[in-house]
Amino acid sequence: MKRLLRLTHPIHVVSGLVIWGLWFVAIYAGLSVACSVAPPESERDMLTGINVGVGLATLATTALLLWLSWASVAAGRKATLRRECYFAYLSAGVFLFSAGGTLFVGYPIVFLPPCL
């Protein structure tokens, strides 16, 4: 099990995208439930708890993914086996993409109200 946590393990080629996927489901489901249960007043535009909540989740997820990307590069540098080095750098790239993807998909909270 400990082996799986090392960033040189190939499981991390997908773990960044799993985090992205969980974040994506969370913001879409959270938005839908929040709009159904407690929709904010329409005149508040983007200054709503929903936008702030989605924004914070987006920033936190992006930060986590960026850190994982950096940690994967570090793990790749330390790796002794070529296979481990390969998967660490590959994972670093996918973490970086996932971080960019999180920020890009979450960005519309800046200019769109949540429930219209």
Partner 1 sequence: MSDDKDATLTPDIRHLHRGMAEVWANPRGLGALTVVNHTSVGLRFMVTGAVFFLIGGLLAMLIRTQLAFPDNDFMSNEIYNQVFTMHGTVMMFLFAIPILEGVAIYMIPKMIGARDLVCPRLSAFGYFCYLFGGIILVSSLLFEMAPSSGWFMYTPLSSGDYSPGRGSDFWLLGITFVEISALSAGVELVVSILRTRTEGMALHKMPLFAWYILAMALMIVVGFPPLILGSILLELERATGMPFFEVAGGGDPVLWAHLFWLFGHPEVYIIFLPGAGIVSTLIPVFARRPIVGYGWVVAAIVIMGFVSFGLWVHHMFTLGIPQLALAFFSASSMLVAIPTGIQIFVWLSTLWLGRPVMALPMLWVAGFLVIFVLGGLTGVMLALVPFNWQVHDTHFVVAHMHYVLVGGMLFPLIAGLYYWLPLISGRMPSERLGRWSFWLIFLGFNTTFLVMHWTGLLGMRRRVFTYDSAMGWDLYNLISSVGGFMMSAGVALLILDVALHFRFGRKAPQNPWNADGLEWAMPKPPTPYNFVSLPRLETRHPLWDDPALPRTIDEGRHGLNTIDHGRRETWGSDALTGKPREVVHLPTNSWWPFFAALALAVVCLCLLARLYPLAGVATLVAAVLLLRWSWENGAHPRAAPDPTVAPGQPPLHSRTLNGPGVWAMSVSHLANGSLYLSLLFGWFYLWTVAPEWRMPETSPLSLPLLAAAGIALTLGTAWLAGLVRRLDRRNDTGLAGGLYLVAGLGGLQSALLGLAIWQAPLAPTETAHDATLLVALVYVLIHALLGGLLCLLQGLRVGYGYVGAEAPMEPVVVLRLWYYNLVVYWTLLVSVWLLPTLLGGTS
Query: What track of x and - describes contact with partner 1 for positions 40 through 59 (by CB under 8 A)?
Result: -----------x--------
Q: Helices 49-78 and 82-106, interaxial angle, to 10°?
A: 160
Residue 17 within binding range of partner 1, rule CB under 8 A: yes
77-80 CB contacts, 8 Å cutoff, 24+ apart = 79/8
CA distance 98 to 77: 21
Chain residues binding partner 1 by CB under 8 A are: 10, 13-14, 17-18, 20-21, 24, 27-29, 31-33, 35-37, 51, 83, 86-87, 89-90, 93-94, 97, 101, 104-109, 112-116
